[in-house]
Amino acid sequence: MHDRTTKLEDTLEKFMQASLTNQKYTEASIRNLEIQLGQLGKQLSDQQAGQFSANTQTNPKEHCNSITTRSGKIVGRGIGDNLVVEEEVLEELERKKKMSVRERKNKIKESL
């Protein structure tokens, strides 16, 4: 009976040591995650509001396609029809913006 108790105590001691070791590793992992979360929070707060830091790319195809479902329904037909008009409008807005900047610079130069 005493031999059986000793084996049980040894097994319990090994289990407790393994549990303590596992707990230490878990605590260390949690500390590392807290540090990383703090670093991410600092990076986010350092970014200027309204800026999107991802690298975006324009669609190289420059046109839109429609989608045909299995049932034969066509979704998005004519989506790209207004693309040329939209590009012209955007170019016109850019030209106006550049002109207004030039006008402001000229006014400043004149006032000096």
72 in a structural domain: no
63 in a structural domain: no
Task: Supply the DSSP symbol for 34.
Answer: H
Please report, rounded to a whole number, the percentage of residues in the chain having pLDDT higher than 70.
69
Q: What number is the average pLDDT over the span 7-30? A: 92
pLDDT band at 102 (very low <50, low <70, confident <90, very high): confident
Give SS3 for 75.
strand
Q: Which domain holds residue 99?
A: 79-112
The pLDDT, as a whole number, for residue 80 is: 60
Q: Are 108 and 102 in contact (CB under 8 A)?
A: no
107 in a structural domain: yes
Find the radius of gyration of the CA atoms of the chain: 33
111 in a structural domain: yes
Please report, rounded to a whole number, the percentage of residues in the chain having pLDDT higher than 90.
21
73 in a structural domain: no
**56, pLDDT greater than 90:** no
Q: Are 75 and 67 in contact (CB under 8 A)?
A: yes
| Overall domain count for the chain | 2
57 in a structural domain: no
CA-to-CA dists, residue 98 to 23, 48, 90, 110, 112, angstroms: 63, 24, 12, 18, 22
40 in a structural domain: yes
58 in a structural domain: no
Distance of alpha carbon 69 from the chain centroid: 31
